[in-house]
Amino acid sequence: MKVNLGFGAHNSQDWDRVLAEDFSRPPTTPDWECVQGTLAIADLAEPLGFDGIWMPEHCGTPYGMTPNPIQALSYFAGRTERISLGTFVVVAPWWHPVRLAHQIAYLDIISNGRYDTIGIGRGVSKGEFDAVGVPREESRQRFNETLDILKLAFSGERFSYDGEIFQVPEMSLRPEPRSRDLFSRIYSSSSTAESLEILSRRGMVPLFVGNKPIEDAGREVQQVNIFRKEEGLPPCQPKNVMFMYCTPDALGAARSEEWIWTANRDVTVHYGFADASNFKGVKGYEAYAAREATATAVLASSVTADAKGAPKTPGYHASNLLIGTPDEIYHRIVAAQEACSFSELTIVPQFGTMPYDEALDSTRLFAEEVLPAVHEMAAPLHPAALPENALA
């Protein structure tokens, strides 16, 4: 099975200053140091034997700071020779589709066809949408029209498009991409049942970014394959993203609790999940408005309160955490693949306030003691993910 490294640059120590709106002073750690720390770990991917590098799209807060993942992957296309490249995800509504098509095609050329996971999503964060001047109410329509235009653009023919939002005059994609199968490389990330059905019926294969218990993701794979069967499509396997800290002993694993807590805090604040008013009345985000604290794009639980109203310590769902000794991590990967039938795994080796030197050591240990065994693992589509095994 292929194993990739996934990255987003986090300046998690800076959230206290941001939440206090204390912008009279700069961050204690400059953002550029966080970005360079992330790039340094990613530089290990090829020499350590990983199969790919993946990047997200985030800007405007200390969380995930990668404003253009295609730009970041272009950097690594020039620094590597073998590994594949992936996005988790390009947020389609923030792009003009023709511009996005050209950027994908150009990365395909300069990487010699190595951009093999074109992960695309429609975005969530109010702050990010506001910053680029795109109404969230339009996100689903923009996403769907973008998929239409990408399919036309990657067909190799001249094309035009007349949609509700985008109008494209007759044109050609120039430069044409090197690869002729780019549209089939598109994977979709969705967090609601409605989006999952819409995308599945369009033939999109899911990309799971740790946003639910792995068993729930497994049930969604079966549901995806039910929709695909109804559309005359063969069953598929998702690609999954999981969060990893590899340590020689159990004492090391205990250090990760703070990093998990801060990572949970980061996404909760960045996306505004703890306040349902961020989503109420926003078309396409009704599922988020219905819950005060929701599963996030990287977490399976958010900040909540106990019966007495006191804050509970937030945390990842255990099934999406690869934290422990090499042996423990290997067995967690085996169990997760059996539950979800993923064909490929991307691990995120740095999150929250985890120091970059800790992430480097963890990545090296995983590469030495876990990666060879996972490379030898089969990654089958298990019977539980097939439509014929659905409960009546």
pLDDT greater than 70 at residue 331: yes
Helix (H) or strand (E) holding 365: helix 356-369
pLDDT greater than 70 at residue 178: yes
CATH for 2-301+311-389? 3.20.20.30
Phi-psi region of 133 (alpha: psi -120 to 50; beta: other; left: phi over 0): left
pLDDT digits (tens, 9 = 90+) for 16-48: 999 999 999 999 999 999 999 999 999 999 999
What is the model's pLDDT at position 161?
98
pLDDT greater than 90 at residue 288: no
pLDDT greater than 90 at residue 308: no
Q: What is the DSSP string of 80-101?
A: -SS-EEEEEEEEGGGS-HHHHH
Where are the domains positioned within the chain? 2-301+311-389
pLDDT digits (tens, 9 = 90+) for 339-378: 999 999 999 999 999 999 999 999 999 999 999 999 999 9
Cis peptide bond prior to 56, omega within 30° of 0: no
Cis peptide bond prior to 89, omega within 30° of 0: yes
What is the model's pLDDT at position 391?
62
pLDDT greater than 90 at residue 130: yes
Q: Report the 10 Å Cβ neighbour count for 38.
A: 23
* pLDDT-derived band at 388, boundaries 50, 70, 90: confident
Q: Of the candidates 86, 3, 37, 10, which has an alpha carbon nearest to the alpha carbon of residue 264?
A: 10
CA torsion sign, 285 to 215 to 333 to 389?
A: negative
What is the model's pLDDT at position 292?
52
What is the model's pLDDT at position 251?
85
Q: What is the DSSP string of 282-314?
A: -TT-HHHHT-SS---SS-S----B-TTSPBPPP
pLDDT digits (tens, 9 = 90+) for 96-117: 999 999 999 999 999 999 999 9
pLDDT digits (tens, 9 = 90+) for 312-329: 434 457 788 999 999 999
pLDDT digits (tens, 9 = 90+) for 33-88: 999 999 999 999 999 999 999 999 999 999 999 999 999 999 999 999 999 999 99
What is the model's pLDDT at position 318?
73
Mean pLDDT of 156-178: 97
**Residue 208 vs residues 46, 89, 347: alpha-carbon distances, Å:** 24, 10, 12
Output the average pLDDT for the chain. Answer: 91
